[in-house]
Amino acid sequence: MAESSRLKVGVIGLGSMGFGMAGALLRAGFAVSGCDVNADAVARFGALGGAGAADPVAAAQGADVLIVVVVNAAQTEAVLFGGAAQAMTAGGVIVSCATMAPDAVRGFAAKAQALGLQYIDAPLSGGAARAASGDLTVMGSGPAAAFAKARPVLDCIAAKVYELGDEAGTGAAFKIVNQLLAGVHIAAACEAMTFAAAMGLDLARVYEVITASAGNSWMFENRVPHILEGDYAPRSAVDIFTKDLGIVADIGRGLKFPTPVAATALQMFIMTAAAGMGRDDDASVARMLAGLAGLELPGPKG
């Protein structure tokens, strides 16, 4: 509490992840100001005791630590370098959470440094539920002094903070390796479940057997229940993976390094988005395949 009382924290982006993090910080006694393009989210944040801000500059005003929890590099650039960074206290620490290409992150870190600020490349693993309970994983990189200053904030939002190197971009690279695997595993889970349906198997039994076998993955276990329940309300959307596997594709092309499995999974997400399901849950890849092949998957309950 002594430490939390000394640090002023800004949060830009009060979507499901940012809102959960901001709530965890408020419960720990931090002074938190936050903003979002969605006025409802800002109002709910105010109801929890947060200081709702009209825009990123207001949210960042006087902040010692500024957490940026937006979708991608373009949004990060827009919200940070349109005045918000300059509004922070001198030597303040930017904690940037969007999944981005390492090169983009390095550019932002250099801009922050030129403004006399510190930058932690801090992509996250774990969904909204873990954000709300302060149990995220941070795949962080940046100067040790920045980690030291932001430590009380990071420890409040995350169960595990990896310090993966001194340089911005390293955290992003670890995260993109995770996203390569996660995206491929979701596409594979959807392909396997619809393939099982095409063979006429009992899908609930397939889930039971596979989760106890060597074909299991974190994503299979997490996403296949959405298919079994016919529930495609977005916990994480198809378009997240058209973005993240798109970053994998860009990096691979730049390095001249082939990623054929990830490239194929990317096409599956693009096909699903093309069929109008880009904002639906990423398990919708199964609906896309079932639709193509005229298969029936379980419908919504009730």
Rg (CA), the chain: 20
Draw the binding track, 40-79, toward a second copy (x: CB under 8 A; -: no contact).
----------------------------------------
What does 164-184 look like in DSSP terms, one character per residue? --SSTTHHHHHHHHHHHHHHH
Helix (H, G, I), strand (E, B) or coil at 156: helix
Q: At what angle do helices 170-198 and 218-228 cross, to 10 degrees?
A: 50
Question: What letter represents residue 248's amino acid?
Answer: V
- Residue 129, interface with a second copy (CB under 8 A)? no
Which residue among 1, 47, 144, 212 contacts a second copy (CB under 8 A)? 212
Beta-ladder partners of 160: 137
User: Tokens 């990096």 sit at which residue?
Assistant: 251
Which residue among 83, 126, 143, 291 contacts a second copy (CB under 8 A)? 126
Q: Which is nearer to a second copy, 200 or 300 (CB)?
A: 200
Q: How many C-alpha atoms does 295 have within 13 Å on its Cβ side? A: 22
Which residue among 71, 87, 115, 209 contacts a second copy (CB under 8 A)? 209
Which residues 6+ apart lie within 8 Å of 190 measured at CB?
223, 227, 268, 283, 285, 286, 288, 289
- Residue 174, interface with a second copy (CB under 8 A)? yes
Q: Tell me if residue 160 is catalytic.
A: no
**Region near a second copy per CB under 8 A, out of 12-20, 61-69, 142-150, 208-216:** 208-216
- Residue 102, interface with a second copy (CB under 8 A)? yes
Q: Could you say which of 149, 175, 243, 301 is catalytic?
A: 175
- Phi and psi at residue 141, to the nearest 5°: -150, 150
Alpha-carbon distance values, 226 to 87, 188, 219, 269 (Å): 43, 15, 11, 16
Draw the binding track, 213-232, toward a second copy (x: CB under 8 A; -: no contact).
xxxxxxxx-x----------
- Residue 133, interface with a second copy (CB under 8 A)? no
Residues tagged active-site = 175
Using CB under 8 A, list all residues that contact a second copy.
102, 125-126, 137, 139, 160, 162, 164, 170, 173-174, 177-182, 184-185, 187-189, 191-192, 194-196, 198-201, 205-206, 209-210, 212-220, 222, 248, 251-252, 255-265, 267-268, 289, 292-293
